[in-house]
Amino acid sequence: MPWIDACSTSDIDEEDLIRWDHAGKTFAIYHAPDGAFFATAGLCTHEQVHLCDGLVMGTLIECPKHNGQFDYRTGEAMRAPVCVNLKTFPVKVEGGRVFVEVA
C-alpha cells in the first residue's frame, strides 16, 4: 500500500485534528497530546459528518454533530450515538512530514 505525504507535522496543533482529502476520500489526521500522529476515516460512522470540526480530548475524538466519541488510535466507538467503529490508517512521520498509508 502506498504511503502518501499528507501534511507537515506543524499543520496540526497538539490535541487537534485536520481534514485531509485524498483520491476522492476524506480522512482525519490527529496530533495526540503525547506528540504522536494518527489517521482515521474522516466521516463519523453515525451520520457521515466530518469529524474535523470535532473536539480532540486526550485520545478521543468527539463528533461535532451528536457528541459521539471514538478512540482515534484504534477507531473504537466509545460513546453513543456512535456504535460502529471508525476505520484507522497507519501513519509515519519522516522529516517533519506526516505520511498516511491509504488502503
Q: For residue 47, what is its C-alpha cell?
A: 451520520
Q: For residue 50, what is its C-alpha cell?
A: 466530518
Q: Does residue 79 interact with ligand FES by CB under 6 A?
A: no
Task: Say how many C-beta atoms besides its own lie within 10 A of residue 30's C-beta.
Answer: 22
Q: How many residues bind ligand FES (CB under 6 A)?
A: 10
Q: Which helix (H) or strand (E) element contains residue 30?
A: strand 25-31
DSSP at 53: G
CB 52, min distance to another protein, A: 9
Specify the stretch interacting with another protein by CB under 8 A; choose among 2-10, 21-29, 32-40, 79-87.
79-87
Residues that bind ligand FES (CB under 6 A): 44, 46-47, 49, 63, 65-66, 68, 81-82
